[in-house]
Amino acid sequence: MSANPWMKFYPADWRSDPMLRMCSIGARGLWMEMLCLMHEADPYGHLVVNKKPPSDMQLGLLTGVDPSTVRTLISELEEAGVFSRNRSGVIYSRRMVEDDKKAQTARKNGKFGGNPNLCKTTGFPPSDNPPDKGGVNGRDNTQKPEARSQKKETPQSPPSGGGGNGGDFFHFWEAYPSRGDATNPKKPAEDKFAQLVKSGVNPAVILAGARAYAEHCRSSGREGTDKVMQAKTFLNQQVYADYSKPRPVPGSGSDQRWRNRITLFRDTGRWEGMWGAEPGQPGCQAPPELLAEILKEGAA
């Protein structure tokens, strides 16, 4: 829990975030209420009360929103990539967690006299304040209040082996559900991620798809098992495109999309529920001619 009764808030960043602006006023209002709760939480920046994530009913009581509406608004925020979830599914604010890490580093360095030259901030963004130029007459200057800059702080991300977009891939890999084993190779997924972004795919769409897929795996009991597809397959088959849609329709998609789905079914036996009934079952929406063509190829 933060010792400060106040928290940093940048109105310009709030109004310029395109993903947040696409959310309804109700979703944005709930997000502000959630930020206030996360400011008082332990660990800081996480949506927990007494270290436990609140249910929809509890969150509704805390925010004055009907529980059924809470579910709808949280789904809207998650589809827009406004927040992240940790491996346990707990909602957290990326910005608040990053700011808290910087604050902890500053407090730690303060024990050594507060000299910025002693500060080792590898892994965190540089300060917006100018570097120390020394005090007047050999003494430290009086500390000035923090400048409330509107400059958006972008966290330094771990190095990328896939060439560029390391920060975006880091968030994707963090959000992607665990298979519970070591058969989810990172490097091929990272290379494919970089290739997709280079070809013009918006990384926010991939990230939104990964989060929605992770939620699907949690709710269906797949997480932590080999029923979670490898991340490279998720990217190669463009599964993220289906999961990133706010309201996917089982019968929608191009022939190539259906081709990818049917090929995945043929090779792995996997068929996502959001695609409708699986091949061979009543109500299957897959184009019959593609089903016949691709399944015949697998039998040949």
Q: Where are the domains of the chain?
A: 11-95, 166-299
Task: Of 5, 98, 88, give the one whose Cα is nearest residue 45.
Answer: 98
> What is the number of other CB atoms lying within 10 angstroms of the CB of residue 86?
13
**Contact at 8 Å (CB) between 34 and 79?**
no
Per-residue pLDDT for 118 more than 70? no
**Contact at 8 Å (CB) between 153 and 98?**
yes
Torsion of CA 87, 93, 98, 102, to 10 degrees: -120
In words, the CATH class of domain 11-95 is mainly alpha
Ranges 30-44, 130-144, 246-260, most confident:
30-44
pTM recorded for the entire structure: 0.40
Residue type, 89: G
Average pLDDT, the chain: 76
CA–CA separation, 239 and 232 (whole Å): 10
What confidence score (pLDDT) does residue 16 get?
A: 74
Residue-wise pLDDT for 189-204, tens only, equals: 999 999 998 998 888 8
- Within 8 A by CB and 6+ apart from 202, the residues are none
Q: Which single residue is written with the structure tokens 């990133």?
A: 244
